[in-house]
Amino acid sequence: MPHLAAGYNLARWLTRNDHDAEDVVQEAYLRALRAFDRYRGGDPRSWLLTIVRNTCYTWLRQNRRSEPAPTGDSADDAWAEIPADPAGEPEAQFIRNADTRLLREALEQLPAEFREAFVLRELEGFSYKEIADIVDVPLGTVMSRLARARKQLQQSLLARMKDGA
């Protein structure tokens, strides 16, 4: 199952729910399998994530529900790539966990199109051009969305840090 983790990660951030993301990715992979004969080459990861993205938005429209922010630590799986401190000091681990939770909460508050661009760029490592292809928008729109996402994240994190201090 190539690129399953990337597909799940994108679906997780768009649906904001682990179980819904699993359902969306399963449906997306079935769609990809059915459409494989129409695949004309190119980056298979981009092609698959385009299907995941489209499946996700179709699912969200059909279910017409507001996406609640996750509760508890179930969303921490998306942050599993963050390396742990080899020293493993409890104080450092506590601060890192608090920072990760703060960042995750700020990211959850971004509008969907900003969150999507940010996840594809910063968590999945796609180029601006690849994101433009996946999302089917001009390159300038991707650049604008990323700049706005970063600015909103910065403002949100600064506000949260002031409130917590």
- What pLDDT score was predicted for residue 63? 85
DSSP calls for 8-25: HHHHHHHH--HHHHHHHH
**What pTM was estimated for this model as a whole?**
0.65
- CA distances to 86, 95, 161 from 115, in Å: 30, 24, 21
1-66, what's its fold?
A: Rna Polymerase Sigma Factor; Chain: A (1.10.1740)
Mean per-residue pLDDT for 27-42? 85
Instruction: Calculate what percentage of the chain has a pLDDT beyond 70.
Output: 76
Average pLDDT across the chain, whole number: 80
Interior/surface letters 97-113, b for 16+ CB within 10 angstroms, e for the rest: eeeeeebbebbbebeee
Pick the range with the lowest mean pLDDT from 1-10, 12-21, 149-158.
1-10
Element containing residue 165 per DSSP (H, E):
none
Residue 127 pLDDT class (50, 70, 90 cuts): very high
Query: How far from 157 is each of 18, 25, 119, 137, 147, CA to CA, in Å?
Result: 24, 30, 17, 28, 15
In the chain, domain spans: 1-66, 87-165
Of the chain, the end-to-end C-alpha distance in Å amounts to 45
Residue 74 has pLDDT above 50, yes or no: no
49 touches 134 (CB < 8 A): yes
Residue 45 neighbours by CB distance under 10 Å:
17
DSSP 78-133: GGTTSPPPTT--HHHHHHHHHHHHHHHHHHHTS-HHHHHHHIIIIIT---HHHHHH
Task: Give 137's pLDDT tier (boundaries 50, 70, 90).
Answer: very high
Stronger pLDDT, 44 or 117, i.e. the higher one: 117
In this structure, which topology does domain 87-165 adopt according to CATH?
Arc Repressor Mutant, subunit A (1.10.10)
At residue 72 the predicted structure's pLDDT band, cuts being 50, 70 and 90, is very low
Q: Is the pLDDT of residue 90 over 70?
A: no
* Model pLDDT for residues 53-69, shown as the tens digit of each residue: 999 999 988 885 554 33
Give the per-residue pLDDT at 113.
Answer: 92
